[in-house]
Amino acid sequence: MKKLNGSQMISEALKHEGVSVVFGYPGGAALNIYDETYKQNYFTHILTRHEQAAVHAADGYARATGKVGVAFVTSGPGFTNAVTGLATAYADSIPLVLISGQVALPLIGTDAFQEIDAVGISRPCVKHNFLVKTVDELPLVLKQAFYIARSGRPGPVHIDIPKDVTAAIGEFKYPDEIKMQTYKPNTKGHPNQIKKACEAIAKSKKPIVYIGGGAVSSNSSDEIRKFISKTKIPAVETLMALGVLRSDDELNLGMVGMHGSYAANMALSEADLIICFGARFDDRVTGKLSEFGKNAKVIHVDIDPSSIGKIVNAEFPIVGDLKNVMIELNNKIDLDPANFASWRDQIKIYENLHPLCFKDSDDVLKPQWVVQNIANIVGDDAIIATDVGQHQMWVAQFYPFNHPRQLLTSGGLGTMGFGLPSAMGAAFGSDKPVIAVSGDGGFLMNVQELMTLSANKKRVINIVLNNNFLGMVRQWQTFFYGGRYSNTDLELQPDFVKVCEGFGGIGFSVETKDEFKKALQTALKSDTVSVIEVKIDRFENVLPMVPAGAAIYNMILE
């Protein structure tokens, strides 16, 4: 058994966990960790330009690869800057480990320089956290952190390590396996519950499959596609599930919820059986709860027992890993798909009545056209990251997602500033083209990460849909606040081309379709970061739209 100091233990643990990249920003309380980072050759450390971006990058890396993302920060403001990243990952169940430096143990509670109660702050927005008080407990804590982050319902884990613990020497033995008496996720669905679910599906007349982000984190896409193909039951996807089914699957009704398709919302409203795979009945999907699925029974499959029955009662709850449950469902389901033919015909009427569409123009670029043509130019395998706002919904509606882990977006917390750094994280985990679509508001929140990309010679193409507004807030002000545009006008903007060039990248500003196509093709051939500012119709709205508190069948369509 070898003796190592605490910082060496961290590096060794990351080696054992197969970590190849860490995002971070150093500071006084983390200097021992960074000194060992300098000496080791197990992983590459990416110096971001802000701690929030470091955690978002680790998040984006995790979403794109399915691996645990890792970030380092220092104490005090270094940690508080990272909190939004933790909360974003927690809301979307993303596996992530954040290691923060802390003042030395004797200084805790003395209001020392850059001291803050980090574990107290992180507690509501992580799956678990640790304050490490002795070097001897550090190997087990590190092992537990990675296990907790990736198992069950994934999520971020925070480890706060005082500076004297990172310097202390102890015996290093990294556990091969982990057993936690108070944490034992149930991965196998109960056979009797699966049997009852199969019987309920066979008896139903108007079933709908409702797919959530758990289908992505559990790597269940193939099994769900098999289930849909076998049963011919129509399906809807949440924002977090886009790509689980192919966009061109005739049984895929598209995104459901506040900005979901008319057919998806109507089908979910009129179903007599909702088959929920890894979703949590978020308010953006359910709308007015008393009107949601009021004629439907519910099958709810989820790894997290606390999610089942939390919002909507489930007559057929199944706790287990979705992939395992799907395998059993596919083996046991026995029905005639023709039983649902009239239901599929009814849904086809909804699809034809109000398809997703927009009025194109030769005078001004429409954002929907831009999104469609990103897909036409970059190909089927590109990773698309978005910020939060109107552009996010246009991407969700009009980009043809055909693969899981293809869309990186902040769904639960809705974090502006997420797009660029999450795309950066994906670029360090994948060789696929990475496109970040942002609005002119959110893009500026972490614009400094253009420098990180430039310094590391990473090509991420940033497409900024510029309507000189905080667009989604402006849309709400249009519909619900009498057109009183309070503090949403961004008429005064920087020169986005010069901003990117100042960070060492290349920039374009476009106003026509030909200009956009040429700019994107040029950016794809480049070997550096780029920004394409696209000047779009200022007052274009995201439709359909379900007003807050309304039933999801009550949509604003025009």
Catalytic residue numbers read 51, 113-114, 163, 472
Say if residue 305 is exposed, middle or buried (CB neighbours under 10 Å; 0-12, 13-18, 19+).
middle
Pairing status of strand 434-439 against strand 506-510: unpaired
| 3-state SS assignment for residue 461 | strand
Omega before 544 cis (within 30°)? yes
Cβ proximity of 509 and 462 under 8 Å: no
Q: For 452-467, b where at least 16 C-beta lie within 10 A, e where not — what string?
A: bbbeeebbbbbbbbbb
Cβ proximity of 83 and 122 under 8 Å: yes
CA–CA separation, 461 and 434 (whole Å): 7
Say if residue 246 is exposed, middle or buried (CB neighbours under 10 Å; 0-12, 13-18, 19+).
middle
CA–CA separation, 21 and 39 (whole Å): 15
Find, among 99, 142, 139, the residue nearest to 122 by Cα: 99
Query: Which amino acid appears at position 106 of this protein?
Result: P
What is the biggest distance separating any 2 CA atoms in the chain, rounded to whole angstroms? 72
Tokens 């550096």, residue located: 528
Find, among 154, 129, 160, 141, the residue nearest to 59 by Cα: 154
CA–CA separation, 185 and 94 (whole Å): 16
CA–CA separation, 348 and 5 (whole Å): 65
Residue 34: CB atoms within 10 Å: 19
Compute CA 435 distance to the chain's CA centroid, rounded to the nearest angstrom.
15
Main-chain dihedrals φ then ψ at residue 374, nearest 5 degrees: -60, -50
Long-range contacts at 105-108 (CB < 8 A, ≥ 24 apart):
105/133, 105/162, 105/164, 105/165, 106/164, 108/162
CA dihedral 325, 319, 240, 430 (to 10 degrees): -60
If you compute the radius of gyration of the chain from its CA atoms, what whole number of angstroms results?
24
| DSSP 8-state secondary structure symbol assigned to residue 317 | E
Tokens 């196509």, residue located: 517
CA–CA separation, 363 and 155 (whole Å): 46
CB neighbour list of residue 203: distance below 8 Å, 6 or more residues apart? none
